[in-house]
Amino acid sequence: MRQNPEGRTPTRRPAFRLATLLLLVLGLTLPTTPSFAQATGHVRAKIVKAGLVLGGGAGNGVLTYRGKAHPFRISGVSFGITVGVTVGRLDGWASGIREVGDFAGTYSSVGGGFALVGGVNGVHLRNEKGVTIVLQGPKAGLELAANISRITIFLR
């Protein structure tokens, strides 16, 4: 490499540094491809449950995913110690979603709860596509439950 009159090796040119900086900024500001990235969705649901040993429930809700609202229906059965009738409003998150269709499916849960006029409900679900839903919220009614549940979600 040639030396300049002062005897030092010249530094890189300013135009090269500017081009490198612009490419770096451009790379950091470009959005990722949404079809390959997993995203989290907000879930809100209302569920009515009733049972005596064998229980059942149904409800509806909305998944807000990537800025769009996707209504869904819920149906489920439970087996174990189940006595009572409750209405619950649940709020939480669904993670592991690659595309909105992954949210629909069959989920499993093992849990329990107690409500006398009012209580708190919480559930952690996972389906065969790897989507995990964590919900919690108030419930009203009378219930004593310790059971295994199978819940199916259908997108409308």
Per-residue pLDDT reduced to its tens digit, 71-129:
999 998 887 777 788 888 999 999 999 999 999 999 987 666 666 667 777 788 899 99
For 149, which DSSP code?
Answer: E
Give me the pLDDT at residue 35, please: 42
Residue 31 CB contacts under 8 Å (≥ 6 apart), including other chains: none
Q: For the chain, how big is the Rg over CA atoms in Å?
A: 26
Q: Token pair 């005897």 is at which residue?
A: 7
pTM (two decimals): 0.69
Q: 42: alpha, beta or left, given left = phi > 0 and alpha = psi -120 to 50?
A: beta
- Please provide the average confidence, as pLDDT, over all residues in the chain: 79
What amino acid is encoded at 110 in this protein? V
Kindly state the percentage of the chain with pLDDT values over 70. 71
Which pLDDT value is given to residue 86?
85
